[in-house]
Amino acid sequence: MLKSILDFLAEGILLADRDGRFMFINRVARSILGIDSRGLAMSEWSETCECYLPGGVTRIALRDLPLARALSGESVDEMELLVRKTDQPDGIWIIAKASPLSNEAGVLCGAVMVFRDVSTKREEEERFRTFANAVEQTADSIVITNRSGTIHYVNPAFEQTTGYSRAESIGRTPAILKSGVHEAEFYRDIWATIVSGKAFRGTIANRKKNGEIYFAEQTITPIRDGAGQITQFVAVTKDMTEQRKLQEREYQMKLARAVQQQFYGISAPTVEGFDMAGGTFPADETGGDYFDFVSLPKGCIGISIGDVSGHGISSALLMVELRSYLRAFAAKSLDISEILRLVNSALVCDLDQANFATLFLCRLHPPSQSMIYASAGHTPGYILGVDGAVKQVLPSIDIPLGVIPERTFGCSAEIRLEPGEILALLTDGITDTERPDEKQFGASRALEFIQEHRQDSAQQIIRGLLEAVRSFADGLPQRDDITAVICKKNR
């Protein structure tokens, strides 16, 4: 009867005599340890069944097994070990207790070991540790509240994002993050959704401890107990502030790009005896390079090309401002030196010390086929003769715009354009373009291209030159805006 009772127990029971031979093995012990019969010595069993310390790496010596220690007179309490057998290479985790047995005379006559299988419990604990580590280490904020909304847990990401420590958060409600951006109705709708058992997903503007507002993509999920009752809410929040800033910047860039494209698409004026064109390849969606053809008083034409420091949306907006000022002042004056002075004075008020603009402004008088120019720190222009050779270099005359208030600017003497000659204006995006071996395109290659294609139209020369520059780069990313203007005096 006792044997039957012991066989029905959930724990394994193993009894050994003083020589270490198994005298009794219940059903659970036979299953876990793989011992089939009485009389087997513990030393024989240990040859086919390996035992390891927690960690599953260090094998336990025979003398250190719980039953062996009990046979030496020691009581062993709650020893964890991994048992590996041939048919179970992953092993079974057990918690074992062992005690020595003595006869009526107090003489050691054997030992008993009682143990239980804790593999399932250990797996559950490991899964919980994995889950806990994931929650603790995830980059998203996690908050757990009870059904009334009181915070019970926050992970480190929540502390880092919001500035509230765990101690400052637990016991309070998520209302500590209210930004004032949303109406009370917004929060009531969220609460109504989650208490009804539905998950909430949406973007919320929250406020950090330091007062800074951040945008969070949040999911709040109700957690139910075994009876189906909502007991907790789990909120997982991803900080979307940087993504929203990027989206806003991209939106602004598209707007600026749309405005700029209107300027780049303006056709050159039709002037008897001349063929003019301009073109640009911005480095970004928006660029800081600028070219324009402006009507001046008394039938003159203003030809301009400029380069605003940097590139991107700030440079693009500054380019638009430069163009507006230039057109406004050019409508009232033929004096290009005075036009540059006025543009400079206007820009100085709007720019910080890190920003400036270079500008080449030419006044063309078609009836006399002559021109004068002013250059505020811009890349040299060139006049190519009928044979394509450089007839005259047009260097910068003054400093860039937007640097010194109330600056006066000079201009060149009158220059006559003969039939077949070409005025070529470039930005440094052309001359400074590099290929993988770090050699630059340079002004000489640009002038050589114009010389070879001088029989083409101005528009064809522009298009071909810009394509030649990008081809020269041989796949390297474009670092600066590429712009050119061509004015041909027809034969």
Number of other CB atoms surrounding residue 221 within 10 Å: 14
Q: Where are the alpha helices (DSSP H) in 196-335?
A: 241-264, 313-330
* Average pLDDT for the chain: 88
Identify the residue with better confidence: 128 or 200: 200
Q: Which tokens belong to 20?
A: 């270490």
Among residues 173, 175, 171, 170, which one has the least CA distance to residue 155? 170
Q: How much is the average pLDDT of 346-361?
A: 83
- DSSP state letter for 178: B
CA of residue 337 relative to chain centroid, distance: 47
According to the model, what pLDDT value does residue 88 have? 79
Among residues 145, 149, 169, 147, which one has the least CA distance to residue 157? 169
According to the model, what pLDDT value does residue 123 have? 86
pLDDT at 116 over 90: yes
Q: What domains does the chain contain, in order, with CATH numbers?
A: 2-123 (3.30.450.20), 138-239 (3.30.450.20), 270-489 (3.60.40.10)
pLDDT at 257 over 80: no
Give the H or E element holding residue 368: none
**Backbone angle region of 73, left / alpha / beta, with phi > 0 → left and psi within -120 to 50 → alpha:** left
CA of residue 371 relative to chain centroid, distance: 51
Tens of pLDDT, residues 134-192: 888 888 999 999 999 999 999 999 999 999 999 999 999 999 999 999 999 999 999 99
Map tokens 């911005």 to a residue. Answer: 282
Burial of 11 (0-12, 13-18, 19+ CB in 10 A): middle
Is this structure's pTM higher than 0.85?
no
Per-residue confidence at 329, pLDDT binned at 50, 70, 90? very high
Tens of pLDDT, residues 259-308: 666 666 677 889 999 999 999 887 765 557 889 999 998 889 999 999 88
Of 19-23, 85-89, 110-114, 350-354, the range with the highest mean pLDDT is: 110-114
Tell me which of 125-129, 235-239, 371-375 is least confident: 125-129
Alpha carbon of 278 to those of 43, 161, 488: distances in Å? 96, 50, 12
Among residues 377, 366, 313, which one has the least CA distance to residue 343? 377
Tens of pLDDT, residues 442-472: 999 999 999 999 999 999 999 999 999 999 9
Tens of pLDDT, residues 41-87: 888 877 778 889 988 889 999 899 999 999 999 999 999 999 988 77
According to the model, what pLDDT value does residue 259 have? 61
Per-residue confidence at 206, pLDDT binned at 50, 70, 90? very high
pLDDT at 115 over 90: yes
